[in-house]
Amino acid sequence: MFEDLSRKLDTVLKRLRGQGKVSEANVAETLREVRRVLLDADVNYKVARQFMDDVLRRAVGQEVLQSITPGQLIVKIIYDELVQLLGTSHVGITFSPLPPTVIMVAGLQGSGKTTFCAKLALHLMAQGHFPLLAAADVHRPAAIDQLEVLGRQNGLNVFTKRGADAVTVAREAVEHARLGARDVVIVDTAGRLHVDEVMMQEAEAIKAAVQPHEILFVVDAMTGQDAVTTAQAFHTRLHYDGAVLTKMDGDARGGAAISLRATVGVPIKFIGTGEKPDALERFHPDRLASRILGLGDIVSLVEKAQTQFNEEKAVALEQKIRKSQFTLEDFLDQLLEVKKMGPLQQVLGMLPGANRLPANAEVDESALVRIEAMIRSMTTEERRKPQIINGTRRRRIALGSGCTVQDVNKLLKQYEQMQRMMKTLGKGGRMDRMARGMRIHS
Amino acid sequence: MGILDKIGIGRLREGLSRTRSGLLSAVTRIITGGQRIDEQMLENLEDTLIAADVGAGTAADIMQALRDRSHTAMSADASALLPMLKEEIGKRLAAATVSAVEPFSLPATRPYVIMVVGINGVGKTTTIGKLAYRFTAQGHRVMIAAADTFRAAANEQLEIWAKRAGAEIIQQKQGADPAAVAFDAVSAAAARGIDVVIIDTAGRLHTRTNLMEELRKIHRVVGKHTPAAPHEVLLVIDASTGQNGLQQAKQFGATASVTGLVLTKLDGTAKGGIVLAIARELGYPVRYIGVGERLEDLQQFDPQQFVEAMFEA
């Protein structure tokens, strides 16, 4: 079974937590294991060594030895160092005071540049910008088609000029944006190897021609030790302003991010979290660090819940649960609230301890869709008093929702079990504390 | 095939020379003749292996073997280390030489079906173009099944490669059922007397269970038309991939019954050491390596040559 960085750190630190005091010897031993964990996460070996040195220097000080809970302190030190390595704050795109702002996107083949360009355009559009995509990858077969299709599917403006060289496409796209009142131009360039002299010269020429206000280097989260070499080589030639970490929805824990930060020092500005055009997130160093350490991305979850979850409804729901009056109608409400927070897979990933789930555990979103359909096929009376749902009603609900009677039976059974569970919780048990905790966060 | 091989091997040397020069300088820096073996030297050697993406586990394993062997020879001449290191790496790659089918050769089965899988952006489509070219150059009739119905303009890209390679192509519109495309291609190939069918699949992360199940379905549906098909399932891995490559191999292996690997983008500075870890843990043979963007830039993987190229003086 897959073991990721946070899970391994968990094991290592659990061992530490069990011990009373931390000695220099067992810190060193633990840190050797942590270094191994970092290497397995594709952190460059030189970076990992530097990192361990820093942690060791801080850990073997007085503070740890005199501390009552040394384990926690070490977690804190490792976390702080990780956050520091990853950069301390989120940095956005630099916009030019004189539009159009030109953003150039570069990277190796297959790192996900074209997909990222479309995502970035959508992201900027949601912020009220009017982006134009420039199809300056004139080398890869059908790269222009790909950008055009993405543009058509997502309502994005794409500038193409078949047969022209990349520099011309980029230059004319900027001109086109100026005339067409587009305030951002995103230049999608061809993937290139950093050792390909001709192609690197082309990238430099594009940069010289359009003078981008922002150059972004796209790097695959699964990249290994070579990330340092390529990041440095591209930086030497292009002096990019920020990096984008793609394919973060896989199980690679982004050791490349640590390597990149440590060697080039530019901020990581975005992370790609899926193939869908809206799967782009801002990079938050603290969140990635806590995810790496298995502390869960609690901040993100609370933030999402805050914007989406209706406080009043939550209080009302709590009341109902207490009085065991939780009906199928409430269940549907609850379901819709969770749905608003985004794909369940993502929500789950943010929960602490989610890394302890089997790596391939996937939430069946379609089950929720079926449940919603079934409840929606019930009358108001049925939702409030599920006990009246007899055989005839079950058949009708199944027919109306496109499910089978067995599905309806299953749903009712689950509802019954849930109600029984809530009765026990309602008696001032864990639910009470959970509800209180929810309010403290929000 | 003679002429092709000549072009090919020159290109391979050219591609691998970057890999070679990188490691070579590191190793020669570590092992200079006449020096005695010490712990620092071994540690530096381990770093060099890790830097090549061999992985901490595999590197530790190789170093342990090296320590055991050189224990008696400790404080002996360091020049003995390099041959020992090559041998240990070669031993672990040996698993990767075992394969039923010769690279670039077609068994008698018609149509012979090859399915190509991998995560996004590793170079599946490019590999398929090159592979198709090798078969058409031998006078075989090749059909490519465009079962990547997800990515925007995947069809167009594949079409261009098919044209370059002189292969036929079967495709449907974006969003079509990939298993249906694969099935259609195999039945069309059988009807038209095509020699080899190469199935392109959409890139997918190995952690996406539902998409992995889709691969299993393609595999199963193709098998319904022609039992024993697909005869080969190639997993494409980017040479710059880190330790996650092992997970990729495990997951794709479990759902798509991978029979071999293709290691791409070896023309960069990435060393592709992850195949050592994969060979050690899963024993998948590396069938081909990609060393450039031209049609001819797909080569047969030779473990001995790979190791030699890494450390050749």
Q: B270 to chain A nearest CA, in Å?
A: 6
Whose CA is closest to A9, among A58, A66, A109, A79? A79
Residue B119 touches chain A, beta carbons under 8 Å: yes
Residue among B121, B240, B244 whose CB faces A252 most closely = B244
Q: Are A134 and A169 in contact (CB under 8 A)?
A: yes
Average pLDDT, chain A: 79
Predicted confidence (pLDDT) per residue in A288-344, tens digit:
776 665 554 444 444 444 444 555 566 666 666 666 677 888 778 777 776 666 566
Distance CA A364, CA A351 (A): 17
Verify whether the Cβ–Cβ distance A359 to B207 is below 8 Å: yes
Residue among A44, A110, A250 whose CB faces B238 most closely = A110
Q: What pLDDT score does B69 carry?
A: 82
Q: Where are the alpha helices (DSSP H) in A192-226?
A: 197-210
DSSP string, A95-156: PPSSSPEEEEEEESTTS-HHHHHHHHHHHHHHTT--EEEEEE--SSTTHHHHHHHHHHHHT-
Predicted confidence (pLDDT) per residue in A229-239, tens digit:
999 999 999 99
Q: What pLDDT score does B11 carry?
A: 46
Verify whether the Cβ–Cβ distance B153 to A148 is below 8 Å: yes
Q: Is the dihedral of CA A248, A78, A304, A335 positive or negative?
A: positive
Chain B positions in Cβ-Cβ contact with residue A142 (cut-off 8 Å): 153-154, 156-157, 159-160
Q: Rounded to the nearest 10 degrees, how much is the dihedral formed by the CA atoms of B78, B84, B90, B95? A: -140
Distance CA A287, CA A306 (A): 17
Q: Where are the domains of chain A?
A: 2-86, 101-293, 300-441
Residue A227 touches chain B, beta carbons under 8 Å: yes
Predicted confidence (pLDDT) per residue in B94-147, tens digit:
765 666 677 888 888 889 999 999 999 999 999 999 999 999 999 999 999 999
Query: Helix (H, G, I), strand (E, B), or coil: what is residue A7?
Result: helix
Residues 234-273 of A with CB under 8 A from B: 247, 249-252, 255-256
Q: Provide the whole-model pTM.
A: 0.75
Chain A positions in Cβ-Cβ contact with residue B120 (cut-off 8 Å): 110, 112, 247, 275
Residue linked to tokens 């496409």: A169
Distance CA A374, CA A377 (A): 5
What b/e string do you get for A136-157 counting C-beta neighbours within 10 Å, with b at 16 or more?
bbbebbbbbbbbbbbbeebebb
Q: CB burial class (10 A; 0-12, 13-18, 19+) of residue B167?
A: buried
Q: B246 to chain A nearest CA, in Å?
A: 10
Predicted confidence (pLDDT) per residue in B243-255, tens digit:
999 999 999 999 9
Q: B189 to chain A nearest CA, in Å?
A: 25
Verify whether the Cβ–Cβ distance B56 to A40 is below 8 Å: yes
Q: Is the dihedral of CA B99, B105, B110, B113 positive or negative?
A: positive
What's the CATH number for A2-86? 1.20.120.140
Helix H or strand E segment including B289: strand B286-290
Residue A109 touches chain B, beta carbons under 8 Å: yes
Residues 124-163 of B with CB under 8 A from A: 150-154, 156-157, 159-161
Q: What pLDDT score does B218 carry?
A: 96
Q: What pLDDT score does B20 carry?
A: 42
Region B215-220: what's the mean pLDDT?
Answer: 96
Residue of A nearest to B60 (CA): A36
Residue among B245, B251, B270 whose CB faces A226 most closely = B270
Q: What pLDDT score does A441 carry?
A: 33
- Evaluate if residue A426 carries a pLDDT over 90: no
pLDDT confidence band for B19 (50 / 70 / 90)? very low
Name the CATH superfamily housing domain A300-441: Signal recognition particle, SRP54 subunit, M-domain (1.10.260.30)
pLDDT confidence band for A60 (50 / 70 / 90)? low
Residue B205 touches chain A, beta carbons under 8 Å: yes
Verify whether the Cβ–Cβ distance A40 to B57 is below 8 Å: yes
Residue B268 touches chain A, beta carbons under 8 Å: yes
Whose CA is closest to B130, among B21, B242, B273, B292? B292
Q: What pLDDT score does A90 carry?
A: 72
Verify whether the Cβ–Cβ distance B174 to A148 is below 8 Å: no
Distance CA A257, CA A114 (A): 20
The CATH fold of domain A101-293: Rossmann fold (3.40.50)
Residue among A40, A195, A247 whose CB faces B243 most closely = A40
pLDDT confidence band for B307 (50 / 70 / 90)? confident
Q: Are A206 and A170 in contact (CB under 8 A)?
A: yes
Average pLDDT, chain B: 83
- Evaluate if residue B42 carries a pLDDT over 60: yes
pLDDT confidence band for A424 (50 / 70 / 90)? low
Least confident of A40-49, A280-289, A346-355, B175-184: A346-355
Q: A241 to chain B nearest CA, in Å?
A: 23
Q: A423 to chain B nearest CA, in Å?
A: 35
For chain B, the straight-line distance linking the first and the last C-alpha, in angstroms and rounded, comes to: 30
Q: What pLDDT score does A428 carry?
A: 45
Q: A286 to chain B nearest CA, in Å?
A: 23
Is the model more confident about A391 or about A61? Answer: A391
- Most A CBs within 10 A among B19, B240, B297, hence the mutation to make, goes to B240
Q: Which of A57-71, A322-336, A343-357, B202-216 has the highest mean pLDDT?
A: B202-216
pLDDT confidence band for A370 (50 / 70 / 90)? confident
Region A386-399: what's the mean pLDDT?
Answer: 91
- Evaluate if residue A391 carries a pLDDT over 60: yes
Region A186-195: what's the mean pLDDT?
Answer: 94
Q: What pLDDT score does B151 carry?
A: 84
Is the model more confident about B253 or about A282? Answer: B253
Is the model more confident about A347 or about A237? Answer: A237
Region A240-266: what's the mean pLDDT?
Answer: 88
pLDDT confidence band for B32 (50 / 70 / 90)? low
Whose CA is closest to A21, among A55, A67, A83? A67
Query: Helix (H, G, I), strand (E, B), or coil: what is residue A218?
Result: strand
Q: Cβ atoms within 10 A of the Cβ of A69, count?
A: 12
Distance CA A437, CA A432 (A): 9
Q: B72 to chain A nearest CA, in Å?
A: 27
State both tokens at B296: 């001819």
Name the percent of chain A lying above pLDDT 90: 40
Q: Are A394 and A37 in contact (CB under 8 A)?
A: no
Cα separation values, A348 from A287, A361, B306, Å:
15, 10, 43
- Evaluate if residue A19 carries a pLDDT over 70: no
Q: What pLDDT score does B106 carry?
A: 85
